[in-house]
Amino acid sequence: MEFKFSMTTEVHFGEGVILKNKDLFRSLGSKALIVTGRRSAKINGSYDDVKKALDEVNIDYVLFDEVEENPSLETIEKGSDIGKKHNVDFVIGIGGGSPMDAAKAIAVFIKNPEINKDNIFGSGKLESIPVVAVPTTSGTGSEVTQHSIVTVNKEKTKKNLGQRVFPKYAFIDCRYTNDLPYDITVNTAIDAFTHLVEGYLNTNSTFMSDIYGEKGFELFKYCFEKLLNKDFSPEFRERVMLASVMGGMQIAQTGTSLPHGMGYPLTYFKGLHHGLANGVLTIEYLKTFKNRTKINRMLNILGLSDLGELEKIFNSLINIKLDITMDEINEYSRSIIANKGKLKNHPEEVEFEDIVRIYSKSLLEK
């Protein structure tokens, strides 16, 4: 057996972890840039905890609270300009995947002042200043991945920044997710599940990454039941967060696969939330597999007898009617076939017609 396993983020999980570990901030410098979305961090307690911790260890900070969903390179440039102007030593990303991913990209831009939105791709491997991540959704696992997914308006798509920015610390306190509305809870949970699936059924999967996948499916056996019953207790919040962290640790090793690549145009052109964009394609993607060994193992852990049972769960949780034409499906399919990086993560041969079929059956025949 041969594998590489790398997960350099120090994870602190539990109630009150930010204040309990406030001294860790001292090792990162004397001034922080806090990166958030527009509203939620100020309401769910996460921003207050970070401010209190920084105040108690005498670390100065500036706030950049303009990160939109699916952060654009324009926003990242704006945030990094503020960081550079204030000479910050590190970046704290608080929020869902969008602010955490933006924080990672901003940390790269601050460390490399010659980098901007027009030359970031093709710039080779870059360092970043340290990043701390505080998740407030249970979905992306960005707090434990090296990935930063950004919207590239020039290319009309979302892309991985292509740099390895593992947060130095992840502070995970599920209380910040207690008041997540139903739709964001479902959409982000579906995202976590798709990470587990795409990481598990991945060319790059290993003995080690599969441990996270299988543990994540075990957690989802419980989480699906609670999601279907809309029973969002603190215990559910904890387990779905753990599943999201497992998914993150897994895709940090494997990367994602077809549904993520195919979902990006659905988000960019149709405004579909990231989790739904992957989720709506997942069942048809699973049906394309010729070798079902691992799919059957996954279903067994989930306590499901066949793919039809998983499809019923997805149909109950996801209800999407997209206005999409066959021409658009062909165009998106062409760009996936051109995305060799994503295709090579899929362990079986895949043709243009297969991609068109997944899109069509998922989006036109519902």
Residues that bind ligand NAP (CB under 6 A): 37-41, 44, 69-70, 95-99, 101, 136-137, 139-142, 145, 147-149, 158, 176-177, 179-180, 184, 188, 191, 274-275
Q: How far is the CB of 67 from ligand NAP (least distance, A)?
A: 7
CB-wise, 137 or 209, nearer to ligand NAP? 137
| Shortest reach from residue 111's CB to ligand NAP, in Å | 18
Q: Which residues are registered as beta bridge partners of 149?
A: 160
Burial of 99 (0-12, 13-18, 19+ CB in 10 A): buried
Q: Which is nearer to Zn ion, 47 or 224 (CB)?
A: 224
Give yes or no for a contact between 71 and 59, defined as CB atoms under 8 angstroms apart.
no
Q: How many residues bind Zn ion (CB under 5 A)?
A: 1
Question: Shortest Cβ distance from residue 207 to Zn ion (Å)?
Answer: 23
Q: Which is nearer to ligand NAP, 266 or 295 (by Cβ)?
A: 266
- Minimum distance, C-beta of residue 306 to ligand NAP, in the bound complex (Å): 28
Going by C-alpha positions, the residue among 227, 226, 277 that lies closest to residue 256 is 277
**Would you say 95 or 130 has its CB closer to ligand NAP?**
95
Residues from 180 through 239 that contact Zn ion (CB under 5 A): 191
Residue 24 or residue 165: which is nearer to ligand NAP going by CB? Answer: 165
CA distances 124 to 96, 112, 161, 349, Å, are 27, 12, 11, 30
The DSSP code sequence of 59-79 is -EEEEEEEEPSS-BHHHHHHH
DSSP one-letter code for 6: -
Please report, as a single letter, which amino acid is at residue 14: G
Residue whose CB is less far from ligand NAP, 163 or 362: 163
37's contact among Zn ion, ligand NAP, none, with CB below 5 to 8 A by partner kind, is ligand NAP
Q: Which does 247 bind (CB under 5 to 8 A by kind): Zn ion, ligand NAP, none?
A: none
User: Measured from the CB of residue 40, what is the shortest distance to ligand NAP in angstroms?
Assistant: 3
Among candidates 127, 175, 174, 170, which has minimal Cα distance to 24? 170
Site string for Zn ion, 143-182 (x = CB under 5 A): ----------------------------------------
Side chain identity at 219, as an amino acid letter?
L
Instruction: Name, in order, each residue with C-beta under 8 angstroms of 277's C-beta and a sequence gap of 6 or more.
Output: 263, 264, 266, 267
Q: Which does 177 bind (CB under 5 to 8 A by kind): ligand NAP, Zn ion, none?
A: ligand NAP
Give the span between the Cα atoms of 199 and 191, in whole angstroms. Answer: 12
Among residues 301, 341, 318, 106, the alpha carbon closest in space to that of 204 is found at 341
Q: Which is nearer to ligand NAP, 52 or 312 (CB)?
A: 52
Query: Measured from the CB atom, is 79 or 261 closer to Zn ion?
Result: 261
Query: Among Zn ion, ligand NAP, none, what does residue 304 contact (CB within 5–8 Å per kind)?
Result: none
The least distance separating Zn ion from the CB of residue 81, rounded to whole angstroms, comes to 28
8 A C-beta contact, residue 88 and residue 31: yes
Cα of 360 vs its chain's centroid, Å:
25
Task: Return the closest-CA partner of residue 220 out of 259, 249, 194.
Answer: 194
Distance CA 322, CA 60 (A): 46
Give me the residues that bind Zn ion (CB under 5 A), please.
Answer: 191
